[in-house]
Amino acid sequence: MVISFKVPESIAEEVASYLRKHLLIGDKFPPGSFIREADVAEELGVSRSPVREALKDLEDHGLIRLIPRKGAFVPQYSDQDVYEIYRVRAALEMLVYEHVVACRLLNAEHERWLRSRVDLLGELALSDDKDVEGVRIRFLELDSAFHFYIHTLSGLTWTTELLKKTYSHISQIRYRHIAGITLPYFVEQHLAIVDSLRRGDLDALRSLSEESARKGPAVYLGSRELS
């Protein structure tokens, strides 16, 4: 299974990439555990300074919480947390959609790029690759890239920063419950987003956001009631 990240430019970025991968997969650092600076430095054969820098970067992106004299805490999400995170994302993305539509920021080149990503998502959804988990992880990477492109296109700096942190939490939730994700549904949803942006249909975009806020937590909650 391969998870792609940007090419690191420093030891701290290499450490951050390593930690980010295992945080998302949840194998080495499960929810509720602590990442200890000294242990990571010893395992990777580096000094504690780049590990400290990497942990600070991960905290800035919402993936961990640094607690003095204890280490980096890997967050656990209650049912209420999951519900709230998805509602926050829906609200923030509507700000993005409204701005993109109002300012007519989506041009033909942007639309082609987004549709090319939807095509790739469609190919993955129909893939017969035996590495099912690897396919789903690649699918989620493309999903994030699709949304980040629209966020950046909006030019709303603060909203985009808040969405980056929100997506950090959503990524952890999704990766931990990756088997419950229905890929074809997501392909249809992404295509509908592009079509709605092209038409400038805010009502349709609002409906899609609200649907995502309802169905997203369902993957995590399953048949359980919201606690």
The answer on pLDDT for 209 being more than 60 is: yes
pLDDT confidence band for 182 (50 / 70 / 90): confident
- Per-domain residue ranges of the chain: 11-73, 79-221
The CATH number of domain 79-221, selected from 2.70.50.60, 1.20.120.530, 1.10.1040.10, 3.20.20.80: 1.20.120.530
pLDDT confidence band for 3 (50 / 70 / 90): very low
The answer on pLDDT for 181 being more than 50 is: yes
CA distance 86 to 217: 7
pLDDT at 216: 85
Tokens found for residue 205: 């975009």
Average pLDDT over residues 154-164: 96
DSSP structure class, residue 87: H
CA distance 106 to 59: 33
Kindly tell me the sign of the dihedral angle through the C-alpha atoms of 53, 57, 58, 64.
positive
Distances (CA, A) of 114 to 45, 70, 188, 191: 41, 43, 13, 9
pLDDT tens, position by position, 92-136: 999 999 999 999 999 999 999 999 999 999 999 898 887 777 787
pLDDT tens, position by position, 20-44: 878 877 778 888 899 999 999 999 9
pLDDT tens, position by position, 58-101: 887 778 889 988 889 998 888 999 999 999 999 999 999 999 99
What share of the chain in percent tops pLDDT 90? Answer: 55
The CATH number of domain 11-73, selected from 3.30.465.10, 3.30.420.590, 1.10.10.10, 3.30.70.1290: 1.10.10.10
> What global pTM score does this model have?
0.77
| SS3 per residue for 140-179 | HHHHHHHHHHHHHHHCCHHHHHHHHHHHHHHHHHHHHCHH
Distance, CA of 61 to chain centre: 11
pLDDT at 180: 66
DSSP structure class, residue 10: S
